[in-house]
Amino acid sequence: FVMMGWLIATRSARGAEETDDRPKDVVAAAVVDAGRVLLAQRAHPVELAGKWELPGGRVESGETHAAALVREIREELGAEVEAGDAVGKPVTLPNGLVLHAYRARLRAGTPAALEHLDLQWFTADDLRRLDLDDVVPADRDWIPELCIILDDA
Ligand code: 523
């Protein structure tokens, strides 16, 4: 019991940063439907709150990008998707995380903002009119390719 208390105490004292041995990859979904792409408005952290992103999250150990994408969209939007081709180039964040965007096709369910402030479907024209200050910094580079995808759709 003493040993267990010590283990718990040292783990929490070291903090989440040092004990985080998860992969550095983050996946984000460009769910495209009827000529529009789904963007989600972040609720946290405070510096990203209110900004639009492609919904997604961190890849877990032993998980493929496609499986992570399906899991994250199920958790965050309550919908089932199928992962498709990569969108744009991976983006490396200052903290070392590497973001990968993929096209995704809606298979079942209606996306809902379970963890976001809001969800909105954007046409290519909506994206071109979007103020980049209102977009999560890492996601800004993907906007031109998303416009091309939507123009072709
Ligand atoms: N981004 C980002 N854009 C974007 C996503 C899905 C994520 O810039 N489209 C960044 C934000 C965070 C990191 O990637 O710095 C992890 O994303 P998050 O918080 O959505 O993923 P979670 O929920 O898996 O992360 P943990 O809370 O750390 O488990």
139: Cβ below 6 Å to ligand 1? yes
C-alpha 38/C-alpha 36 separation (Å) is: 7
User: What does R_g of the chain's alpha carbons equal in angstroms?
Assistant: 17
Partners of 92 in beta bridges: 98
- 58 CB under 6 A from ligand 1? yes
In sequence order, what are the residues at sequence separation of 6 or more whose Cβ sits closer than 8 angstroms to the Cβ of residue 149? Answer: 30, 32, 37, 87, 103
* Alpha-carbon distances, residue 144 vs 61, 107, 112, 127 (angstroms): 31, 25, 25, 9
Report whether pLDDT(131) > 50. Answer: yes
66 alpha carbon to ligand 1 midpoint, in Å? 16
Q: 5-27 pLDDT, tens per residue? A: 555 454 544 455 556 889 999 99
- The pLDDT of residue 1 is 44
How many angstroms does the Cα of residue 126 sit away from the middle of ligand 1?
Answer: 24
- Which residue's C-alpha comes closest to atom 20 of ligand 1? 57
Split at pLDDT 50, 70, 90, the class of 41 is very high
State the distance from the centre of ligand 1 to the C-alpha of 1, rounded, in angstroms. Answer: 36
**pLDDT tens by residue, 44-56:** 999 999 999 999 9
Alpha carbon separation from 74 to 6, 44, 105, 109, 134 (Å, rounded): 37, 19, 13, 9, 25
